[in-house]
Chain A
Amino acid sequence: MKPKVAFFDFASCEGCQLAILNCEDILLDILNLVNLVEFREAISEKAPRYDIAFVEGSIHRDEDIERLQNLRSRTTVLVALGACACNGCVQARSNFVAPAVNYEAVYGEDARNRVQVDADFWSLWSHTRVRPLDAVVKVDAYLRGCPVVPAEFLHLVKSMLRGTTPYFPPDAVCVECKKNGNECVLERGETCMGPITWGGCNSICVNNGYVCDGCRGTLPHANIQSHITLMREHNIKDEDIRSRYRLFLGAEPIGRGV
């Protein structure tokens, strides 16, 4: 029996599902091995139970929580797909802004004033804390990154097919950066989230001349204090350090604490 696989999304750009669709060279081989029952980006079919559910997106509203809990009850394995599902991603930045301020920024002052007096809109204000999936339900595996890494997706699928646990080593981005022979970002006079960030991305951003923004979340052993000291030594203002941390880590405890 081929395992029933489904994809779902919450608040996200669906870019991770696209990243998987982009693995054209292996996608057909994978589809031979699984039974894809739900994939909004590609097909539309409903099933009552799944073996593996890939869930993209972060959790914002009460109805999201209900939907996710329902999903959890219908799947054997739940995989958090991408940064939104693993650690909240960029939208978790709004955790640090008052809901009304956010609303005003998007819809303008008039709209904000109107909805504040209209009780039908009040529930909006309670809906704005952005959470990763594991703040709501148990997550069995994490495919980190914005977007996810096809090689990790493939490793996970193969592991699930063999009934084994996928292994993603808790190594900093620096490990792959060195393996790729990159000049350290610090050598270029820039700062980097690499030393505290989960690797597995093959240091793709640094390989291409950019810096690591930490989209894959902080490592369990991350030495945050040391990283802040490092940023300060590079004359980064505390305000900007905070901003770097909140770019992708706004829903992580560390993003709130810095």
Chain B
Amino acid sequence: MSYHLATQQNVINWIRGLASENPVYFPEKYGHASYRFAKVEADSEIQFEHYTPTVLPPVKLLIPAREELLSFRKHSDGKTEINPTLDESFRVIAGVRPCDLKGIFLIDLFLKEGVADAHYLARRENTALIGWACTAPCDSRVFCAAVDSLHHSEGADVFITPLKNGDVLLEIKTRLGEKLAAGTDWQPCDDGPAKKVGVVASMQEPFGRTFPVGVQDIFKKVAKNWKSPIWDKHVERCFSCGTCNLVCPTCYCFDVNDDMNLDVTSGNRTRTWDACMLPHFAVVGGGHNFRPDPAARQRHRVKRKFEYLPEKFGHGAVCVGCGRCGRQCTAKIDIYDIILDLINEGERS
């Protein structure tokens, strides 16, 4: 809606100000070489410099690993009361990279489609997103440009693009963004779009890993390969541990479990992340497993990202190219390699 210019220090002060009023999550370095979205405290370091994608994508702040869906209580008069458990608290997630914005944008599509997911909606609609454009690849594993997520900014309330001179261009994209920016001393900027184009033009080429064909052609190649030795090849080392699903910004499958308190009259129902790579994901009541074989599960995962969901929703690849799954796979299986093999397989046949 409007463009502004500010120094990085302005922006850092602004975020600190926001954090004094609301929970603000920002990428923080931790462990040996990892980052995570953590709540900004008074002594938190805020830096927009280089970072590799966080262990878990920010969308997981909106779909916690374990969340209560409802609680119930049987009253002494025999009536059972059931109430949904909803988190409508306000939060800001800042420093969200385009790949992760695309992830949230896609999850919005999936969970709002048809019958909306009330628990997600309650969190999402009470969350402000402050995006931060990438000007250099996070590391050698990303392929965001190849799956069209490098320039994604939809869904951000404020989107920040770093400029060559060290200052930043701020794009206020929503009413909520305007509210967050109220009282800042940013300079209005008339040629915002042109400045953005300039930044994009000066970005390195190629940006991260690339595919020899475009996204639409990848879909065709993936759709063509049902029976292919490629599926077997890439699960030889698979542990079926589900890591690739659990760290994915576009995975949202869940399991539901009930618990009864020891008073035997009250309890709750929770949902937890599930993963289609886990061996028992497609087991039905009678014990039949519709995908007992890791290769079939891998095929399902890849096709979900590059065929099924793109077809159903029409918003491009449902893989944002962040590289988390490949980076964190203990068996060194990388969806990039699988797609590349599928593309080349198509060439041969």
Contact = CB atoms under 8 A, between A and B. Distances in A.
Q: Is A in direct contact with B (CB under 8 Å) within the complex? A: yes
Interface of A: 26, 29-30, 32-33, 155, 158, 161-162, 169-172, 174-175, 178-184, 186-189, 192, 194-196, 221-223, 226-227, 229-230
B239 A174 contact: yes
Nearest to A186: B330
Given A178-B56, A227-B239, A187 B32 contact: yes
Tier of interface size on chain B: 35 or more
A189 B66 contact: no
Interface in B254-291: 259-260, 262-264, 272-273, 275, 278-280
Contacts of B243: 174-175, 178
Given A174-B241, A179-B65, 13 more contacts: A170-B279, A174-B242, A174-B243, A175-B243, A175-B275, A178-B242, A178-B247, A179-B246, A180-B65, A182-B55, A183-B34, A183-B55, A226-B237
Most chain A CB inside 10 Å of its own CB: which residue of B60, B241, B279: B241
A116 to B, nearest CB: 46
A166 B1 CA distance: 55
A175 B240 contact: no
Interface string B136-170: 00000000000000000000000000000000000
Most chain B CB inside 10 Å of its own CB: which residue of A30, A32, A223, A227: A223
22 contacts: A30-B262, A158-B259, A169-B278, A171-B241, A172-B241, A175-B241, A175-B243, A175-B278, A178-B56, A178-B246, A178-B247, A178-B328, A179-B66, A179-B273, A181-B60, A183-B30, A183-B33, A184-B55, A186-B330, A226-B236, A229-B237, A230-B331
Interface of B: 30-34, 36, 55-56, 60, 65-66, 236-243, 246-247, 259-260, 262-264, 272-273, 275, 278-280, 328, 330-331
Contacts of B241: 171-172, 174-175, 194-195
B204 to A, nearest CB: 26
A130 to B, nearest CB: 27
A188 B32 contact: yes
Contacts of A170: 279-280
Nearest to A227: B239
Contacts of A229: 237
The 8 closest A-B pairs by CB, nearest first: A183-B31, A179-B65, A174-B241, A178-B246, A172-B241, A195-B239, A183-B34, A226-B237
A10 to B, nearest CB: 29
A189 B259 CA distance: 38
A158 B267 CA distance: 12
Nearest to A158: B260
A189 B236 contact: no
B279 A175 contact: no
B262 A171 contact: no
Contacts of A32: 262
Interface SS of B by simple majority: loop
Given A169-B280, A170-B280, A178-B56, A184 B330 contact: yes
A181 B61 CA distance: 11
Contacts of A230: 237, 330-331
Most chain A CB inside 10 Å of its own CB: which residue of B55, B236, B239: B239
A33 B328 contact: no
A171 to B, nearest CB: 6
A192 B247 CA distance: 19
Contact of A179 (B259, B272, B280): B272
A33 B36 CA distance: 43
Contacts of B242: 171-172, 174-175, 178
B246 A183 contact: no
A250 B169 CA distance: 61
B238 A223 contact: yes
B31 A181 contact: no
Contacts of A169: 278, 280
A230 to B, nearest CB: 6
Nearest to A226: B237
A189 B330 CA distance: 12
A195 B330 contact: yes
A162 B258 CA distance: 13
A146 to B, nearest CB: 21
B331 A181 contact: no
Contact of B237 (A161, A172, A223): A223
Nearest to A157: B262
B279 A221 contact: yes
Nearest to B292: A221
A189 B66 CA distance: 29
A195 B242 CA distance: 10
B210 to A, nearest CB: 26
Contact of B260 (A162, A171, A183, A187): A162
A178 B330 CA distance: 12
B32 A183 contact: yes
Contacts of B66: 179
Given A179-B65, A223-B239, A189 B32 contact: yes
A33 B262 contact: yes
Contacts of B260: 158, 162
A236 to B, nearest CB: 14
B168 to A, nearest CB: 28
A32 B247 CA distance: 42
A26 B272 CA distance: 23
Contacts of B330: 174, 184, 186, 192, 194-195, 230
B229 to A, nearest CB: 18
Nearest to A172: B241
Nearest to A169: B280
